[in-house]
Amino acid sequence: MRKILLTLISLVGLAVLVACGGNSNSTPVPTPPSTGNNAGFTTSSLKGTYVFSASGATASNSYAAAGTFIADGLGNITGGTRDLVDDGGHQTLNGLLDNGSYSVNQDGRGQVVLNWHNAGTGDDSNGQVIYRFVLQSASTGKLFQVSNIADAVGRVELQSNLVSTFPGSTFIVTLNGEDSTGAPYGAVGGLTFASGGTVTGTIDENDAGTVNQLLTVSGGSYAEAPSSRGTATYTTSAGTHNFILYEVSPSRIELLSSDKSIFLHGFGDIQTSVAGTVATFTGDQVFSIAGIDNSLDPIVETGRLTLNGSGGVTNGLEDSNDAGTYTSNATVAGNYSVASTGRWMATMNTISTGLIGWQVSPTQSAVLTNSGSFLETGEMRGQNISLTNANITGNFAENLSGFFVGAGLVESTGNFLADGNGNLNGTIDSQTPTADNFDFPETDVYTMSSTGRSSGSVGDVPVVIYAADANTLYLISSDPSRIYEGKMDHQ
């Protein structure tokens, strides 16, 4: 059976595995990043305790990892934890980081080497994992795993202001993975973590094309730990899920399933405000979703639309790639409704004919396809379409990943300097099925339009750009053979 894996910003899956995947002991440690634009970063930019998360696949299994590492600001990793699970039921939980090293280049690109062991866990193996990353700021960045046996992408996030209990906070969560039969699974919803340690809420799920809406959460609980590595559980009519919970901050959590019978990973952002009526949930939006179709082939969609305040989806455009069939600049139209909880639904005429969304705020939503033919997750952001080339200036952190038809998985991170005149210059690090390309210089272009839909290139990859604002650019490759999505965030 072909394996799949969904992530928020990219499709990483249709892959193959090794037991307890994700170890990269046999991978040589590359030379750290060098050269590139000066965006003001140094090795001292990475200092403190960071939560990292990554999901991907090996030749045998889809897998996900989460943990923490402590960076001393001088290039040394002094401790941390690591949890690893895969869809074969293999688990390596609460592994200990012995030591490691890292560096941060002036353009925000960096590399971290983590050495870990599992003594006392029933598995006394040792291992090493290598991540290449690019920082958006000293507190957040995107990464991919450097390995000759695994492919994975993810995030690194600085821990701050940790709390022992969440005082009734509602987190909008996104979950991806596989159900107990190995079928693809995705979910979004609102989970409320009360000060007494209980979890309540509502979840919408798409389980291999079967959409279960408004599942009530019952019997939920959570427990935090001083190290921020806690646990969470909840039950719906569709079953019970148990998670390892990493607190990034009181407003951000990472989740990794501890159930051997189901493979899930995800994250949650605290809900800050809600536009709970059609009249208030309005304006221009950019959406980016990725997943699989009903043939288990990869699909990506990126576009923009207007919520007109009267229940109509208007002025929409979309680019999509379904298993190598690319559709450019399609018209998007439809209608939408919204509830007082910030949960909304849209029916549209595009590939993903329906969307279910949960508002983190009126300008940010977690999104799931409401379709029996497509399972995709992603996000939607408020859009400022009054942009020209001159608005896009400064250094940007880039990530782009997905599936190259006939070749396999591809992932990259990098830095680009936009000059306000349509030119991008930067350096990327990438991994393909046949080669690693590190410190690779790029000279590229972009052209903004009045709708926020633009064209450009990232290296040899032609892309369509959907600008949410001057600091946030969503990317989709316009090459049919490259089923890629990604993002550029201002540094």
CATH topology of 169-270 equal to that of 283-382? yes
When computed from its CA atoms, the radius of gyration of the chain, rounded to whole angstroms, is 21
* Averaged pLDDT score across all residues of the chain: 90
pTM (two decimals): 0.93
CATH 2.40.128 fits 283-382, yes or no: yes
For residue 125, what pLDDT band results from cuts at 50, 70 and 90?
A: low
How far apart are the C-alpha atoms of 419 and 421, rounded to whole Å? Answer: 5
Which of the 8 DSSP states describes residue 3? B
Work out the pLDDT band at 391, boundaries 50, 70, 90: very high
How far is Cα of residue 430 from the mean position of the Cα atoms in its chain?
Answer: 17
> Which tens digits make up the pLDDT trace of 324-359?
999 999 999 999 999 999 999 999 998 778 999 999
In this model, does residue 167 exceed pLDDT 60?
yes
Determine the Cα–Cα distance for residues 180 and 147; give it in Å rounded to an integer: 28
How many CB atoms are closer than 10 A to CB 161? 9
Lookup result for tokens 């690893």: 84
Residue 14 scores a pLDDT above 60: no
User: What is the mean predicted confidence (pLDDT) over 63-84?
Assistant: 96
Judge whether residue 261 has pLDDT over 70: yes
Residues 6+ apart with CB under 8 A from 225: none
288 pLDDT exceeds 80?
A: yes
Contact 203, 23 (CB under 8 A): no
Position with higher pLDDT, 17 vs 32 = 32
Check residue 50 and give its pLDDT: 97
CB-side neighbour CA atoms (13 Å) of 20? 15
Residue-wise pLDDT for 412-434, tens only, equals 999 999 999 999 999 999 998 88
* Confidence band for 20, pLDDT divided at 50, 70 and 90: very low
Decide if 320 contacts 326 (C-beta within 8 A): yes
**pLDDT confidence of 164, banded at 50, 70, 90?**
confident
Rounded average pLDDT over 220-238: 89
Phi and psi at residue 143, to the nearest 5°: -140, 160
Q: Which residue has the higher pLDDT, 121 or 171?
A: 171
Pairwise CA distance, residues 46 & 70, whole Å: 9
Q: Is CATH 1.10.3470 correct for 169-270?
A: no
pLDDT at 95: 87
With bands split at pLDDT 50, 70 and 90, how would you rate the model's confidence at 3?
Answer: very low
Domain boundaries, given as residue ranges, for the chain? 169-270, 283-382
